[in-house]
């Protein structure tokens, strides 16, 4: 029974294959015998030419319909829409649903930053403290006979340090104000309306470039000043790099000099980065009686200030000690000044032990406050219109009707052109054959 069943299945499968093969053979024969251009001629050559034209027609027609159908579906999937003078809310809604195809040209493509941007800064507290005031400088310079003091003493020479610091604060603020004014008068160029997120990114990048350029320009100017002072070996009038005195003779006077040598044998005659501990020194024996934390005396007023920190000025105890020791060696009639430490709560960016040079390189700025108004930008841009693409609701029916319409034109063109092309090919072939026969004869 098993053998009979297997044979039956084999015969059944073989019968199905034969049916399929026969069907394919019939279709092939029908295709080869198909003649859409039948002229009812009995000439074998004409019949053959008509069948070749039919096959070529079918192939080109099918290929053409595939291309036309695909192009029609793709090109007519969406349609253009336009809105005149869209509001910001309308643009926001369109950008959420049609961002890729949205096109909203600005009426005003060049807009000054000042119309939608404000920039402000919060300066380091030292620039608003009493330490850069004239009262503090006069207090340090109470004794005019500065030759009595060691060059590392904060008294007397300290007036020059804080005067330079005051000038740095003023120059920094002027630089900031000028740079901000110049930047806000520059133009933000954008031909198209952009979304708020893109607007924020572009503004952040512009602000970053503006800040870096401003700080770099100021830093280069300060470095040039230091290079000029150090490169020309200017003699400090406060004997910070060279100690000098006058020797008077009967007929002439000389000014002998010798370089100041700091700790570790660093000589201001050969180097400009020498530093020593600043503070209060005994007038008689030049010994340090109070070390001012963070204050480093260099070979010039500029180097002294830039190499120091405000560490002591943040601490009221340190300031009180400085005031107490500053009275040493002075007449008892000298007055004691009341001055408060720098307000720590206002300092967010710089640490207490940050070198003053780092603070100066950032123009004493604790914080940059940037306020950009997208609505103001949009109103200045004032888009004329917004165009976008949207999906057609009836694109399937439209595509079918358009393909059917093109079907007639393609059929007419192919039925007219293909027979002529095939006939031309056959004439050329026959002519070539006759030429070959004539040549051989």
Of residues 20 and 268, more confidently modeled: 268
User: Mean pLDDT in the chain?
Assistant: 83
Q: Are 262 and 274 in contact (CB under 8 A)?
A: yes
pLDDT tens-digit readout, 196-250: 999 999 999 999 999 999 999 999 999 998 888 888 878 887 888 888 765 555 5
Q: What is the mean pLDDT of residues 267-292?
A: 90
| Token pair 């503070």 in the structure block, residue | 279
Q: Where a domain ends, among 316, 343, 372?
A: 372
* 399 compared with 277, residue with greater pLDDT: 277
Domain assignment present for 13: no
- Secondary structure (DSSP) of 197-258: HHHHHHHHHHHHHHHHHHHHHHHHHHHHHHHHHHHTTPPPTTSSSEEE--EE-SS-EE--EE
Specify whether 231 is located in the same domain as 361: yes
Which runs of consecutive H residues, i.e. helices, occur in 382-394? none
Q: In terms of domains, do 256 and 129 share one?
A: yes
Averaged pLDDT for residues 345-363: 87
What's the total number of domains in the chain? 2
Between 348 and 331, whose confidence is greater?
348
Tokens of 367: 């914080």
Does 225 reside within a domain? yes
Kindly state the average pLDDT of the residues 384-411. 72
Are residues 198 and 167 part of one domain?
yes
Same domain, 185 and 127: yes
- Mean pLDDT for 52-80 is 74
Task: Indicate if 282 and 337 belong to the same structural domain.
Answer: yes
Let me know: does 335 contact 135? Beta carbons within 8 Å: no
* 242 plus 315 within the same structural domain: yes
pLDDT of 333: 47
**Residue 223 and residue 359 share a domain:** yes
What pTM value is reported for the model? 0.70
Q: Is pLDDT above 90 for 81?
A: no
Same domain as 154, residue 259: yes
The residue that leads in pLDDT, 170 or 64, is: 170
Residue range(s) defining the domain that contains residue 356: 117-372
- Are 368 and 397 contained in the same domain? no
Q: Does the residue 384 lie in any domain?
A: no
Within-domain flag for 84: no
Instruction: Name the domain boundary from 344, 372, 400.
Output: 372
User: Is 93 domain-assigned?
Assistant: no
pLDDT, position 313: 94
pLDDT of residue 1: 46
Angle between helix 374-381 and 88-98 (nearest 10): 100
Confidence grade of residue 91 (pLDDT, cut at 50, 70, 90) = very high
- Are 309 and 361 found together in one domain? yes
Residue 316 binned pLDDT confidence (cut-offs 50, 70, 90): very high
**Taking 60 as the threshold, does the pLDDT of residue 156 lie above it?**
yes
Tell whether 326 and 410 lie within a shared domain.
Answer: no
Q: In whole angstroms, what is the distance from residue 378 CA to residue 108 CA?
A: 10
Q: Which residue has the higher pLDDT, 41 or 276?
A: 276
pLDDT at 87: 93
pLDDT in tens, 409-441: 777 777 778 777 777 877 787 777 777 666 655
Given this model, what pLDDT does residue 186 score?
95
The answer to whether residue 274 is domain-embedded is yes
Whether 139 is in a domain gets the answer yes
- Is residue 340 located within the same domain as residue 196? yes
When pLDDT is cut at 50, 70 and 90, the band that residue 116 belongs to is: very high
Query: At which of 322, 342, 372 does a domain end?
Result: 372
Task: Determine, yes or no, domain membership for 386.
Answer: no
Separation between Cα atoms, residue 340 and residue 317, nearest integer Å = 10
C-alpha span between 288 and 279 (Å, rounded): 7
Per-residue pLDDT of 25-45, as tens digits, reads 777 666 666 676 666 677 777
189: nearest Cα among 105, 114, 111: 111
Mean pLDDT confidence for 99-105: 89
């Amino acid at each position: 029974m098993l053998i009979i069943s297997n044979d039956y299945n084999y015969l059944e499968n073989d019968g199905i294959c034969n049916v399929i093969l026969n069907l394919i053979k019939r279709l092939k024969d029908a295709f080869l015998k198909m003649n859409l251009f039948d002229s009812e001629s009995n000439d074998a050559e004409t019949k053959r030419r008509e069948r070749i034209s039919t096959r070529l027609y079918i192939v080109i027609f099918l290929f053409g319909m595939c291309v036309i159908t695909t192009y029609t579906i793709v090109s007519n999937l969406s349609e253009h829409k336009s809105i005149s003078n869209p509001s910001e809310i309308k643009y926001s809604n369109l950008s959420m649903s049609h961002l890729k195809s949205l096109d909203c040209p600005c009426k005003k493509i060049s807009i000054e930053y000042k119309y939608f941007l404000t920039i402000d800064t919060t300066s380091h507290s030292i620039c608003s403290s009493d330490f850069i005031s004239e009262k503090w400088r006069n207090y340090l310079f109470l004794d005019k006979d500065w030759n009595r003091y060691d060059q590392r003493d904060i008294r007397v020479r300290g007036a020059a340090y804080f005067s330079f610091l005051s000038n740095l604060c003023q120059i920094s603020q002027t630089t900031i104000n000028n740079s901000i004014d110049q930047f806000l008068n520059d133009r933000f160029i954008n031909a198209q309306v952009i979304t708020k997120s893109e607007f924020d990114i572009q503004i952040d990048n512009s602000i970053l470039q503006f800040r870096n350029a401003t700080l770099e320009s100021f830093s280069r100017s300060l470095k040039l000043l230091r290079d000029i002072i150090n490169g020309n070996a200017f003699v400090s009038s406060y004997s910070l790099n060279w100690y000098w005195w006058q020797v008077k003779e009967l007929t002439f006077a000389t000014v002998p000099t010798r370089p100041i040598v700091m700790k570790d044998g660093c000589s201001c005659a050969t180097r400009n980065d020498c530093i020593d501990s600043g503070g209060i020194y005994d007038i008689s024996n030049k010994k340090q009686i109070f070390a001012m934390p963070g204050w480093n005396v260099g070979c010039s007023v500029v180097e002294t200030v830039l190499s120091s920190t405000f560490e002591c000025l943040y601490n009221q105890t340190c300031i009180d000690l400085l005031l107490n020791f500053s009275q040493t060696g002075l007449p008892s009639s000298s007055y004691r000044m009341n001055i408060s430490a720098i307000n720590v709560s206002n300092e967010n960016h710089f640490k207490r032990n940050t070198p003053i040079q780092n603070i100066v390189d950032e123009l004493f700025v604790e914080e940059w406050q940037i306020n950009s108004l997208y609505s103001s930008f949009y109103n200045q841009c004032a888009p004329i219109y917004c165009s976008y693409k949207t999906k057609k609701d009836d694109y399937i029916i439209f595509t079918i009707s358009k393909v059917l319409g093109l079907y007639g034109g393609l059929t007419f063109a192919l039925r007219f052109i293909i027979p002529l092309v095939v006939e031309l090919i056959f004439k050329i072939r026959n002519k070539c054959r006759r030429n070959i026969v004539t040549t051989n004869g």
